[in-house]
Amino acid sequence: MKKIFLLVFFLFPATTFSQWGTSAIKFGHFNPAASEGGFIIGYEGGKYIDYGFNFGWSIDWFHKSYVDKKLVAEFNELYGIAGGSVNELRAKTNLHDLPVMLTATARFPVSHFVNLLINGGIGAEILIIHYRSFQNTDKSELQGAFDFNWRLSLGLSFDLGRRSELFGELTYHSSMPSWEYEVEGEDGIKRTFEREFDMSGMMARIGFRFYY
């Protein structure tokens, strides 16, 4: 009887913990190569297999309005620097970035209340792009772009209670969606441009995670 009690005593917490789901909200700063850095917010859900490992999924949102300097340089080269201000309007871009990923996190106790977190993820990068028409810069057009992505994160978590924690993480994210579009210049020649959006870069975030 004593042996059965001890077996139940040690197995029950692990079994209980493996049934815990997690939800996390995190926010911070993302600095992709394609644009200036800015605010990013995300949600992460998951399920713990045991105390040291969970798997789940995540979705983030990043928004930025900027002028695509690379596209401006291409326009200036083909259509002349004299129209530089117009070319800047043509390259004005409003970008919404939505990375959707499958994630896995390993946690290693540092102290009774602190854990080291190592996180990785793979998934898809979805861009929703509003850009200016080449012929009419007052007109906005809509385009989508897609690519696969991956990321690696390193962070620390601090227990707030039995089922909640505060955490911070530093992440490298990699993805480069692109699309092609055709424009007709004043010379009547049609040219095809490839718009590449290098969404690779570092992000630093803090967040709150809850267990249920």
**pLDDT tens digits for 95-108?**
999 999 999 999 99
Query: What pLDDT, in 10s, does the model give residues 64-106?
Result: 988 777 766 666 666 665 555 776 666 678 899 999 999 999 9
Which residue ranges make up each domain of the chain?
18-211
In this prediction, what percent of the chain has a pLDDT beyond 90? 53
Average pLDDT on 161-169 reads 94
Return d(Cα 53, Cα 20) in angstroms, integer: 12
CATH topology for 18-211 is: Porin (2.40.160)
pTM: 0.79
Cβ contacts of residue 150 below 8 Å, gap of 6+? Answer: 120, 121, 122, 123, 173, 174, 175
Which of the four pLDDT bands, split at 50, 70 and 90, describes residue 20?
confident
Average pLDDT on 163-171 reads 96
- Cα 24 from chain centre: 15
Average pLDDT on 170-188 reads 82
Q: Name which residue leads in pLDDT, 207 or 180.
A: 207
For residue 105, the one-letter residue type is T
Please provide the size of the chain in residues.
212
**Strands, E, within the chain: which ranges?**
21-32, 38-50, 53-67, 92-109, 114-132, 140-161, 164-174, 178-184, 190-196, 201-211
Which of the four pLDDT bands, split at 50, 70 and 90, describes residue 186?
low
Is 50 exceeded by the pLDDT of residue 202? Answer: yes
